[in-house]
């Protein structure tokens, strides 16, 4: 990394430090003839000739000039061909001619596209799910590529005023591309905040369809879908499964539209242990849109069985209200309502029961 001198000490000490810095840059720039280095050479010659003619004011002017140049020279090649990285990343904003599929912007200091050139770019339009290209300083449109994949176009939807870090790569995609780095996937369904399985799956007890909650059998060797309805409408009435489930087993969400046959196993990469789900696909006993209270917990009401399993309540399986007296039911915590029809499914699912005058955690102990 190119690093400026410290700027400390007497005028003479600082001038000596600057001379050493410029001598190093002169040696390191033999593979390029960029104008920025010519400016550095000019400063170096001036220092060599004048020696001690700098006072504090003129020295400060020199420092300002060096800092202005440093951002440009920091990305230029060393003798070994390795790109320098700069701590001062150039920043730009997409201009008014940009569309959801084509970004254009002016970014100071970028004069050519070379491996390692980086920039911060602030978005001004919502990007397209089909991907988008970026044209910086008229150097040509290059596709944005997801940093987590080998050569996949970035189809994440970015909203307005989202600032992204891009690094140019000439080889990942034929013709070159901008690799997009970000702290999380900013997709509109906030997928980056969710938790997905990687390889775990089980065969299904019954044929099931899109967007279902999956429970586990008492022996934990099968997935039990919340229902087997064929409807693609979240407001259609659904009869809950009557199969017994293990109330303490992990609950998963099947986030796909592909039908899974009985005995077949859903793909592990579409199974989620934490996800914002439309609850009506799994539980809808009224045949109308649900009316959950936002930010309140959501429980699955079940009847405990003597073997430790549970059967989901058939008439009103979902509740947000704890019982005020003993009712013989257990309540599996699913998560928190994020809207009238959606729930953030949580990883942990403690089980509760009204007992001994209070709503207490149930462990199936007598």
Query: Quick check: 48 pLDDT over 60?
Result: no
DSSP secondary structure code for residue 315 in this structure: S
Together in a domain, 175 and 248: no
pLDDT tens per residue, range 186-196: 444 444 457 88
Together in a domain, 217 and 342: yes
Answer yes or no: is 130 within a domain.
Answer: yes
Together in a domain, 108 and 208: no
Answer yes or no: is 169 within a domain.
Answer: yes
Answer yes or no: is 52 within a domain.
Answer: yes
Together in a domain, 244 and 228: yes
Query: Quick check: 346 pLDDT over 80?
Result: yes
Three-class DSSP category at 53: coil
Answer yes or no: is 208 within a domain.
Answer: yes
CA-based nearest residue to 225, from 250, 254, 198: 254
The reported pLDDT for the residue numbered 155 is 66
Answer yes or no: is 291 within a domain.
Answer: yes
Query: Quick check: 215 pLDDT over 80?
Result: yes
Residue pair 251/334 in contact (Cβ under 8 Å)? The answer is: yes
The Cα-based distances of 61 to 46, 86, 125, 230 in angstroms read 14, 22, 40, 74
Burial profile 164-197: b = 16 or more Cβ within 10 angstroms, e = fewer:
bbbbbbeebbeebbbbbebeebbeeeebeebebb
pTM for the predicted model, two decimal places: 0.55
């Amino acid at each position: 990394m190119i690093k400026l001198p410290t700027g400390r000490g007497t005028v003479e000490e600082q001038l000596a430090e600057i001379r050493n810095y410029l001598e190093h840059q002169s040696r390191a720039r033999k593979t390029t003839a960029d104008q920025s280095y010519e400016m550095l050479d000019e400063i170096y010659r001036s220092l060599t000739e004048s020696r001690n003619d700098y006072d504090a004011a003129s020295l400060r002017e020199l420092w300002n000039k060096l800092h202005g140049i440093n951002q440009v020279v920091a990305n230029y090649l060393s003798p070994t061909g390795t790109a320098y990285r700069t701590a001062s990343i150039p920043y730009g904003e997409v201009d008014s001619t940009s569309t959801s599929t084509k970004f254009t912007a002016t970014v100071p200091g970028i004069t050519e596209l070379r491996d390692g050139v980086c920039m911060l770019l602030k978005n001004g339009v919502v990007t397209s799910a089909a991907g988008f290209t970026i044209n910086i300083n008229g150097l040509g449109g290059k596709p944005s590529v997801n940093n987590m994949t080998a050569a996949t176009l970035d189809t994440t939807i970015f909203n307005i005023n989202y600032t992204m870090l891009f690094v140019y790569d000439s080889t990942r995609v034929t013709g070159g591309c901008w690799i997009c780095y970000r702290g999380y996937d900013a997709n509109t369904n906030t997928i980056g905040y969710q938790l997905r399985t990687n390889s775990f799956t089980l065969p299904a007890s019954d044929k099931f369809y899109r967007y279902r909650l999956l429970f586990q059998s008492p022996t934990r060797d099968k997935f039990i879908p919340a229902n087997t309805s064929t409807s693609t409408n979240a407001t259609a009435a659904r009869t809950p499964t009557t199969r017994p489930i293990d109330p303490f087993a992990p609950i998963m969400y099947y986030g796909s539209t592909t039908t899974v046959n009985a005995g077949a196993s859903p793909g592990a990469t579409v199974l989620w242990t934490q996800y914002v789900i439309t609850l009506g696909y799994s539980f809808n006993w009224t045949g109308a849109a649900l009316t959950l209270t936002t930010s309140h917990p959501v429980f699955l009401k079940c009847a405990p069985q003597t073997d430790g399993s549970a059967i989901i309540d058939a008439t009103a399986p979902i509740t947000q209200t704890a019982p005020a007296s003993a009712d013989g039911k257990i309540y599996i915590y699913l998560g928190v309502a994020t809207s009238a029809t959606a729930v953030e499914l949580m990883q942990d699912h403690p089980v509760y029961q009204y007992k001994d005058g209070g709503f207490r955690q149930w462990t199936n102990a007598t």
